[in-house]
A = this chain, B = another copy of it.
Amino acid sequence: MRRLPAAPEAGSGPRLRKGEVEVPATIRDVAKAAGVSVTTVSRALNGYPDVAEDTRQRVVKVATQLHYRPNIVARSLVTRHTQTIGFLVSEISRARIWHYFMLQVLYGIQDRLGEYGYDLILLNTNPTRQREIPYFDFCLGRQLDGAIVFNLRTDDPYVQQLTASPLPTVVVDIPLVGTQVSYVRSDNVYGARLAVEHLVALGHRRIGLVNGHAQAQVSHERLQGYRQALEEVGLPFAPELVYEADFTPEGGRKGARALLERSPRPTALFFASDLMALGALRYLQEQGIAVPQEVAVVGFDDIELAELVSPGLTTVRQRRYEMGVTAVDLLMDMVAQGHSAPAGRTLPPELVVRETT
């Protein structure tokens, strides 16, 4: 199985080649070549103070010559931490649609994690495996130091397990708390209010909502914000003006069609995702319905395309990159500092007015 049979000749010198394959130098090789013990090499390379300066220099030099790289796996076995964080994206393969949003969060995570010297592992999970194996067993088996969970549905079994997680975890979008669990999300209620208030200020009185599916936490929150804003200005809440879609362009299209059949016809449509708004925009154009003259449109997220289409999409910007960064900060507070879970963080979204309103 192993690529290399144990080398019989434990000769001295940089045992660099064995047949065709390069054998990486171990700490022992360095020790031998530098004429010190492995202990000293370990200390010298890991920056402990109790090593004579000239010894350290010699060790470093030899290590460089030998192209020595500490074996992270071996180190992890003894230190019991891997400098690795798991990124668990529920249904990553099917819910592709989410990922315009996700990507930016991922950048934030990746950038910040880099600063801490951690790497990110994309856990390969799927609904079946997910049903069988507690989420943290994935992580525990791999000795991960923590995890970030993304795109969890509220009815996912993991939600239950999460609060009692023994592993430092940050959940995106769902406000879960536990001694080892924290969260980061946008203030979706506020964001939705921003959108609706903007529409109301523009004179709209019948405002439709095309929402995400009910298993997404954010859908509830955005609906709530929508209702709040309406109530605030004394507008009635009309259930027939709410359409439950699924965040996809196709869903947005259907939602637009359905809502525009109501009478009196709404003069504005608020979508719980930009992708839906974009799908609807396309539909409206096909139907020859003028935006924003006949129907105003507001999206949610502010994905890059929002400003690339014409007319440019008015939308509620989520601080996606910052969500990633914040997730890591919260996580590192638990992992590195060993604190128990800090309070979750709720980031304020902001309205970006373009040409669809």
- A282 touching B305 by the CB < 8 A rule? no
CB–CB A107/B96 < 8 A: yes
Q: List residues 106-124 of chain A with CB under 8 A from any CB of chain B.
A: 107, 110-111, 113-114, 118-124
Whether B84 and A121, one on each chain, are in contact in the complex, defined by CB atoms closer than 8 angstroms, is yes
Q: How far is the CB of A139 from chain B (nearest CB, A)?
A: 10
Best-buried of A1, A2, A21, A99 by chain B (most CB within 10 Å): A99
> Are A141 and B72 in contact, with the CB atoms below 8 A?
yes
Please tell me if the beta carbons of A122 and B110 are within 8 angstroms of each other in the complex: yes
Knowing A22-B166, A67-B137, A166-B22 are in contact, say whether A80-B249 is a contact too (CB < 8 A): no
CA–CA, A292 and B111, complex, Å: 41
Report chain B residues within 8 Å CB of A79. Answer: 1-2
Which residues of B sit under 8 angstroms from A126, Cβ to Cβ? 114
CA distance A155 to B143 in the complex (A): 37
**Interface size of A in residues (CB-CB distance below 8 Å):** 61
For residue A199, CB closer than 8 A to chain B, the reply is no
User: A10 on the interface (CB 8 Å rule)?
Assistant: no
* Residue of B whose beta carbon sits closest to that of A23: B166
Nearest neighbor of A2 in chain B, beta-carbon distance: B80
Q: Please, what's the 1-or-0 string for A294-315, where 1 marks a CB less than 8 Å from any CB in chain B?
A: 0000000000010011100000
* Residue of A69, A87, A103, A120 ringed by the most chain B CB atoms within 10 A: A69
Q: Is the CB of A113 within 8 A of B118?
A: no
Interface of A: prevailing SS: mixed
Nearest Cβ on chain B to A74's Cβ, whole angstroms = 5
One of B76, B87, B93, B111 near A107 (C-beta < 8 A): B93
A18 to chain B, nearest CB (A): 12
- Report the nearest B residue to A83, measured CB to CB: B142
Q: Which residue of B103, B119, B285 is within 8 Å of A124 (Cβ)?
A: B119
Note all chain B residues with C-beta closer than 8 A to A69.
137, 140-141
B72 touches A92 (CB 8 A): no
**Does A251 count as interface, using CB distance less than 8 angstroms?**
no
Interface residues of A (CB under 8 A from B): 1-4, 20-22, 24, 67, 69-74, 76-77, 79-80, 82, 84, 87, 92-93, 96, 99-100, 103-104, 107, 110-111, 113-114, 118-124, 126, 137, 140-143, 166, 179, 249, 278-279, 281-282, 285-286, 305, 308-310, 338
The 13 listed contacts between A and B (C-beta, < 8 Å) are A71-B77, A71-B143, A73-B82, A87-B122, A92-B107, A93-B111, A110-B122, A113-B124, A119-B142, A281-B310, A282-B308, A282-B310, A305-B305
